[in-house]
Amino acid sequence: MPEELRGPADFPGSPVLSAAVGRLVAAGRRAGLFFDFDGVLAAIQNDPDAVRPVAGALPALDALSRVVGRVAVVSSRTAEFLRDRLAAVPGLDIHGLYGLEHVDGGGRIAVEPAARPWLAAVGRLAGEAASAFPDIRVEDKRLSVGLHYRLTPHRRQAIEAWAADAQRRTGFVAQAGRMVVELRPPLPMDKGSVVARLAAGLDAAWFFGDDLGDLPAFDELHRRARSGGFAALAVGVGNDAVVEEVRARADVLLTTPAVLVDLLRFLRAQY
Mean pLDDT computed over 210-234: 97
Output DSSP code: residue 42: B
Closest C-alpha to 34, from 234, 256, 268, 253: 234
- pLDDT tier at 199, thresholds 50, 70, 90: very high
Over 90: is that where the pLDDT of 240 sits? no
Beta-bridge partners for 96: 101
CA–CA dist 211, 189 (Å, integer): 17
d(C-alpha 57, C-alpha 41), whole Å? 6
Active site residue 38: no
241 has a pLDDT exceeding 90: no
Report pLDDT for 127: 96
Q: HSE-up of 70 (CA within 13 Å, CB side)? A: 23
**215: exposed, middle or buried (C-beta count within 10 Å: 0-12, 13-18, 19+)?**
buried
Confidence of residue 1 (pLDDT cuts 50, 70, 90): confident
Per-residue pLDDT band at 157 (split at 50, 70, 90): very high
Helices then strands, counting H and E runs in the chain, come out as 9, 13
| Angstrom distance (rounded) from CA 98 to CA 90 | 21
| CA 130, chain centre distance (Å) | 26
> Is pLDDT above 90 for 178?
no
- Using 50, 70 and 90 to split pLDDT, how confident is the model at 48? confident
Q: Using alpha carbons only, give the angle 192, 193, 198 rounded to the nearest 5 degrees.
A: 95
Listed in sequence order, the residues at least 6 apart from 104 whose beta carbon sits closer than 8 Å to its beta carbon are 110
Geometric angle at alpha carbon 237, from 228 and 54, rounded to 5°: 125
Amino acid 239: pLDDT: 87
CA distance 238 to 241: 6
What integer pLDDT is reported at residue 265 of this predicted model?
Answer: 98
pTM of the prediction?
0.94
Res 228 pLDDT > 90: yes
Q: What is the predicted pLDDT for the residue at 47?
A: 86
The per-residue pLDDT for 135 is 95
DSSP bridge partners of 192: none
Residues 6+ apart with CB under 8 A from 41: 35, 53, 54, 57, 61, 73, 208, 257, 260
pLDDT attached to residue 121: 95
Rounded to 5 degrees, φ, ψ at 234 are -100, 115
User: Mean pLDDT of all residues in the chain?
Assistant: 96
Q: What is the pLDDT of residues 65-80, one digit of tens each?
A: 999 999 999 999 999 9
pLDDT digits (tens, 9 = 90+) for 96-155: 999 999 999 889 999 999 999 999 999 999 999 999 999 999 999 999 999 999 999 999
Q: Which of 10, 36, 210, 262 is catalytic?
A: 36
CA–CA dist 51, 38 (Å, integer): 8
- Ordered by where they begin, the domains of the chain are 3-112+189-268 (3.40.50.1000), 115-184 (3.30.70.1020)
At 177, is the pLDDT very low, low, confident or very high (cuts 50, 70, 90)? Answer: confident
